[in-house]
Amino acid sequence: MLSRGVVMTVIAGVAGAACVALPVDNSKQASAAVQGRLLKPDGVTGISTQVTAQLLGNPVNGVSPFFDQATVVADNNGNFLFKFTLSNVDAQNGTVNISVLAPIASGLAPKDTVGIPVRIGSGLNPTDTTFVQIKLQAR
């Protein structure tokens, strides 16, 4: 009877250890920034609408690892900014894919822009900012 109690304690101890979170390696932090402006077909007037960006890493064996995705709404002048902060990622060259969802009543078509080069730098503050200007077209 005594040995049965000992076995139960050991099993509970092992199960508890499996739930412990591993520490994050803060020495491998990286960041990237993408700033841009959305323009109407005239190429001058900004437009406020939803913008989504996907950050991809340097391709490994032909496949680009997915790091992060975010959605913002551009301001009334069409300006937007994405700041990505990453853990366990080395500094590297990456790409950003941007999707713009045109307002329904605007008469403009949505637009996808893929493969925009971006620098993913070491640390939590981006060392470089990629700038992109996207001109929407009429439907």
The H-or-E segment that residue 31 falls in is: strand 29-39
> CA 96, CA 99: separation in Å to the nearest integer?
10
Q: Write down the pLDDT at residue 15.
A: 43
Phi, psi angle pair for 122, to nearest 5°: -70, 145
**pTM metric for this prediction:** 0.77
Tokens of 54: 């996907």
1-5, 59-63, 79-83, 130-134, range with the lowest pLDDT: 1-5
2-16, 50-64, 68-82, range with the lowest pLDDT: 2-16
Q: Write down the pLDDT at residue 25.
A: 54
**Any idea where the domains of the chain sit in the sequence?**
28-135
What CATH number does domain 28-135 carry, 3.90.280.10, 3.40.47.10, 2.60.40.1120, 3.30.160.270? Answer: 2.60.40.1120
**Residue 42 DSSP SS3:** coil
Q: How much is the average pLDDT of 98-118? A: 94
In the predicted model, is pLDDT for residue 18 greater than 80?
no
8 Cβ contact partners less than 8 Å away, ≥ 6 residues apart: none
